[in-house]
Structure 1
Amino acid sequence: MLHYRGAHLLRPGLVGIVVMVCVILIGLQSQKFMAWGTTVRYQALFGEAAGLAVGDDVIVSGVRVGTVQKVVLHNGDALVVFSVNSTIRLGADSSAHIKTSSLLGKRDLTVVSAGTGRMRSLDTIPASRTSSPYSLTDAVGDLSTKTSAIDIDSLNRSLDMLSSTLNQIAPQVGPAFDGLTQLSKTINSRNESLRQLLTGAGTVTSVLAQRSEQVNTLILNANALVDVLAQRRQEIVDLLANTSAVAKQLSGLVADNEAALGPTLDRLNSIAAMLEKNRDNIGKAIPGYAKVALTQGEAVSGGRFYNAYVANLIDGQDIQPFIDRAFGVNPPAQFPLPHPEPPR
């Protein structure tokens, strides 16, 4: 038998009411709750919204992957919050672009994934990587504004001036067009030659492309050669500068010591003249020395003894008695020998 429990039913009743309300809300907003669990939200800053509205499609690689959730003003820019399927990976350098998807002006948000990293939830794409289209309505409005600002009288005067100018140059326009016609015919007649020329240019380009590595090496070597030549040129410039400085120092030294160097140079000149004179005397003495050397050679070539005759070393009359005594000559000669009397 059931008994009434009173206040004990209050708590289960409140829990049941809350559960029923949650079930009703989930049933009414099932798509939104599912989107929260299966999508990731990102943000993008645009210079202008360009007609983009909540609910517009988000396109990645031509496929619809999400929707625009919110478009608000943020520090003078349009902040767009959009959701993307959680299975879609967006790179850290992704960009966003508002584009027109229909002739009626419907917009969509196209996201281009880029970068090696990955965007996290609620990361913002900066304005430097976003772009907005130019609205046709804005273009027509700008055209109307610019057109209304035109001075009609000035425009009429300009057109009249243009018309009169064309009338004045009309005689020259015909020959000009005739010349253009002749030029066109000439180019048309040289069509085959031009084709061959372009073919040859293509061949040259392909050869250069094949030899690009060698050309690059040649250019690098030329750069190295130019650097070496520049260094050598600088060294030569420095050498010339130093030579000029030395020349100036020597000029100053000569100017300062001119009085002392003059007599020294005179003495050097006299010494050089004396040496030159002695050189001539030595040159004359060499032939006579050759005869003496020949005689001495004959004297020593006979064996271990040396025979030499020195004329007029000692007077013969004084040395003859000693020679007779040494060799046992009898009778010995008188000492000194009588000198012969000179003939009369």
Structure 2
Amino acid sequence: MSFRTPAQNAARGLVGTMAIALVVTASLNYNKLPLVGNGDAIHAAFAEAGGLKGGDAVMVSGAQVGKVRDVRLDGDEVVADLVLTDGDVKLGGKTEARITTVTLLGRAAVELVPSGGGRLSAGDTIPTSRTSSPYNLTATLNQLTTTSADIDKTQLAGALDQASTALSGTRDDVGPALRGVTELTAAVEQNDDQLRALLARASRVSGVLASRNEQIETLLTSGQSLLEQLNARQAVVVSLLASVQDLSTQLRGLVDDNRATLGPALGQLDSVVTVLNRNKAALQEAITGLRGYVTGFGEAISTGPWFDAYIQNLTSPGTLAPIVSGVVK
């Protein structure tokens, strides 16, 4: 049987107390333990907290995959430490994070949207460019209350009185206007069936036009091409008419410049044609007689190296006169 001294009992009590203190501390900071915690911490920077606090859920596609371990202020940003408990979740290098409201009482959560290649690892931070924060309903209501309190009630009441006075002064016009609106409404109600039929027909017409969209587009395109070709042909015709006008002007000038020469020449040509027509029979007989002469002349040439030729009336005055006249001129 062994006995412990008071010193040993005190030492044992001190060790037990320290052990209990460590166990309590570890239980209060379970998520922060490196080996038995809820996984690796990923940081997300937000422009504002949006009601987020430690212990809120971290979700992916609506399923909870972790918790928010801590929310702290870092400069002008709010940084949330996210601890993942689901090791099967794969987050890409461009994962986005947004603060959402999951309960009617305003309980917040962090929704992660996996994106990009690679994988986020412990210690990585999702920047504010890929995060978003919701409106805080409580803060918004508080701001509304503050804004409403700043309204000048007296001035608002005066404005309402002025509006009431203006409406009172126009009650004679407002009544007929309202009656007109009522009658218009009644007319529309009475013709409801016709309006429905009209709208149905318009819908059918729109459907037909939509189904013929490609044909209409082709028709419009072809019409545009046709108009372009017509414009091009119009330009060619205009240019041709201008050229014809210039040619007519040039020919008119040519005729005016050579009228003195062309007149006598045409007169002489007319005289020659008249003489030829008058002697047409004689010319035909001469050509016919020339055939026999040429045949005999050819036979005479073919008989030997020498031949004699005779042209009748060559030296007569009637034959020599045209030749001499041409030489003299």
TM-score by length of 1: 0.60
How many residue pairs are counted as aligned between the two chains?
268
Kindly state the Cα deviation for residue 289 of structure 1 after the two structures are TM-superposed. 4.3
Is 2:171 the partner of 1:181?
Answer: no
Residues 56 and 213 (structure 1 numbering): CA distance in 2 closer, same or farther, change over 3 Å?
Answer: farther
Kindly state the Cα deviation for residue 57 of structure 1 after the two structures are TM-superposed. 1.0
Kindly state the Cα deviation for residue 186 of structure 1 after the two structures are TM-superposed. 2.4
Match of 2:112 in 1: 111
Kindly state the Cα deviation for residue 52 of structure 1 after the two structures are TM-superposed. 0.9
Q: Which aligned pairs between 1:28-67 and structure 2 lie closer than 5 A? A: 28=27, 33=33, 39-67=39-67
Match of 1:192 in 2: 193
Alignment partner of 2:59: what SS?
strand
Match of 2:140 in 1: 139
- Kept in 2, the 8 Å contact 1:40–1:86? The answer is no
- Kept in 1, the 8 Å contact 2:50–2:134? The answer is yes
Is 2:276 the partner of 1:290?
Answer: no
Q: What per-residue deviation string (whole Å, max 9, x for no partner) do you get for residues 70-98 of structure 1?
A: 32334422233323333123355543322
State the one-letter code of the partner of 2:72.
V
Task: Work out the CA distance in 1 between the residues paired with 2:170 and 2:269.
Answer: 101
- Kept in 2, the 8 Å contact 1:44–1:79? The answer is yes
- Kept in 1, the 8 Å contact 2:55–2:69? The answer is yes
Q: What per-residue deviation string (whole Å, max 9, x for no partner) do you get for residues 180-228 of structure 1?
A: 2222222223333333344344444444554455556667x469849x9
Is 2:163 the partner of 1:162?
Answer: yes
State the one-letter code of the partner of 1:174.
G
Residues 302 and 134 (structure 1 numbering): CA distance in 2 closer, same or farther, change over 3 Å?
Answer: closer
Residues 205 and 274 (structure 1 numbering): CA distance in 2 closer, same or farther, change over 3 Å?
Answer: same
Kindly state the Cα deviation for residue 35 of structure 1 after the two structures are TM-superposed. 8.1
State the one-letter code of the partner of 1:104.
L
**Sequence identity, in percent?**
29
- Kept in 2, the 8 Å contact 1:92–1:119? The answer is yes
- Kept in 2, the 8 Å contact 1:42–1:81? The answer is yes
- Kept in 2, the 8 Å contact 1:299–1:308? The answer is no
Is 2:79 the partner of 1:79?
Answer: yes
Task: Work out the CA distance in 1 between the residues paired with 2:68 and 2:52.
Answer: 8
- Kept in 2, the 8 Å contact 1:91–1:119? The answer is yes
Task: Work out the CA distance in 2 between the residues paired with 1:59 and 1:107.
Answer: 11
Task: Work out the CA distance in 2 between the residues paired with 1:67 and 1:218.
Answer: 64
Q: What per-residue deviation string (whole Å, max 9, x for no partner) do you get for residues 298-328 of structure 1?
A: 434668459997599289xxxxxxxxxxxxx
Task: Work out the CA distance in 1 between the residues paired with 2:36 and 2:202.
Answer: 61
Look at both structures and tell me which one has the larger radius of gyration over its CA atoms. 1
Q: What per-residue deviation string (whole Å, max 9, x for no partner) do you get for residues 88-144 of structure 1?
A: 23355543322222233221122334x453542254444344332222332233223
Alignment partner of 1:176: what SS?
helix
Alignment partner of 2:69: what SS?
strand
Q: Which aligned pairs between 1:238-249 and structure 2 lie closer than 5 A? A: none
Match of 2:150 in 1: 149
RMSD: 4.6
Q: Which aligned pairs between 1:207-222 and structure 2 lie closer than 5 A? A: 207-212=208-213, 214=215, 221=221
State the one-letter code of the partner of 2:134.
P
Structure 1, unpaired ranges of 5+: 1-19, 248-261, 316-344
State the one-letter code of the partner of 2:182.
T
Deviates more, 1:206-215 or 1:272-281: 206-215
Alignment partner of 2:266: what SS?
helix
Task: Work out the CA distance in 2 between the residues paired with 1:101 and 1:177.
Answer: 48
State the one-letter code of the partner of 1:69.
R
